[in-house]
Amino acid sequence: MLQPLDTTAVDHPALEADLEYASLLREPELAGAHLGGERRRVERTLAAGGWGFSSPHALLLVRPMPWDTAHFGVSCADLLRLYELDETAPIELDALIDAALGEARRRGVGLLSARLGVHQARALHALERRGFLLVDTSIEIGTRLPLTAAPPPVAGLQIRAPRGEDQRELEAIAATFRANRFHRDSRVPAERARGVYTSWVTAAAEGRHGRLLVAELDGRVAGFCAYVPAGDGEPVVTIGLAAIAPPHRGRRLFESLVCACAEEAAARVLVSSTQVSNTATLRAFARLGLLPYNARHVLHGWL
């Protein structure tokens, strides 16, 4: 039997099926903290107007996406998590998905994205049968801090806080990054897809979405890195967006920026994620010791 989510969902046993950082911070005394992180995810989502449904063996969580709604001009939401116990029955899974889609349509959602662990093949196929399109596979990577490796020094490189006069160069660098899910969906206008990262770097430079560090090389902006500091009970710093200007790629500036973020943040673990096709970035992270700990498929459903 399905139940709409309320705050009692934080006690659902399926939450233990996707403890995000448990493989990076393995100490037994942190088991409760990892579960607490998933409980806070449910609480934050519901408090922000999200919704979902639970069954005896699974819990599905959807969050509204106000920034995406404003940017794309269509109501957007994200099927953020589908927590499943191993014995989840197919009929139960279909009922959860249909309930979520029905509620999304009732709320006027036009674009529903979905994030599934790569092991959730049945859920992936269930969404594809309902018209969802696989647009990305994201690799989640991380390591404990401090970092055990660092790139060689680069002559003339300065890592600093952003300045107002950097904005145009930062936006131009962000616009060069095309390996995102919106560019892979033919229903998203190219101009809107390009604008996702330019808006992101603007928000980070203004302190509205984490913090931003700028790489300046010989007096010119050569790249940037946006990160979210540790907080909310988890000693984890997250690299959200990093990019290097095309003329400066291959000089390991990316790694210098990531190292600077790790040094500035008071955290025990550094994590990030990127597209499975973004092999250059994955190699750069690996040189710093960040290795895969999870992966998720991302799908788009136009309702």
Residues 100 and 148 in one domain: no
Are residues 54 and 168 located together in one domain of the fold?
no
d(CA 211, CA 225): 8
Regarding whether 45 and 72 lie in a shared domain, the answer is: yes
- Segment 6-15 mean pLDDT: 96
Q: Domains in the chain: how many in total?
A: 2
Q: Name the pLDDT band for 29 (thresholds 50, 70, 90).
A: low
The structure tokens listed for 54 are: 């639970």
Kindly state whether residues 200 and 278 are assigned to the same domain.
yes
The reply to whether 118 and 166 lie within a common domain is no
* Any domain includes 303: no
Model confidence over 188-213: pLDDT tens digits?
998 899 899 889 888 888 888 889 99
53 plus 149 within the same structural domain: no
Same domain, 23 and 125: yes
Q: In what order do the strands lie in the sheet with 76-84?
A: 3-4, 51-55, 58-64, 76-84, 111-117, 291-302, 133-144, 269-275, 236-244, 220-228, 211-217, 157-160
Same domain, 156 and 291: yes
CB 85 within 8 A of CB 57: yes
> What CATH number is given to the structural domain containing 218?
3.40.630.30
* End-of-domain residue from the set 131, 166, 183: 131
Mark whether 71 and 106 lie in a shared domain.
yes
268, 144 Cβ separation under 8 angstroms: yes
Show which of 131, 156, 173 is a domain's final residue: 131
Closest CA to 50 of 109, 126, 117: 109
232-287 residue pLDDT tens: 667 899 999 999 999 999 999 999 999 999 998 878 899 999 999 999 999 999 99
With respect to residue 215, please indicate whether it lies within any of the assigned structural domains: yes
**Sign of the alpha-carbon dihedral angle for 13, 270, 173, 163:** positive
Same domain, 148 and 291: yes
Residue 104: which domain range? 3-131
| Domain identity same for 238 and 285 | yes
Digit-coded pLDDT (tens) for 115-138: 999 999 999 999 999 999 999 999
**Last-in-domain residue among 100, 131, 162:** 131
Residues 100, 19, single domain; the answer is: yes
pLDDT class of 9 with cuts at 50, 70, 90: very high
- pLDDT at 122 (0 to 100): 94
Handedness of CA 213, 281, 197, 51 (dihedral sign): negative
Tokens of 152: 């060689």
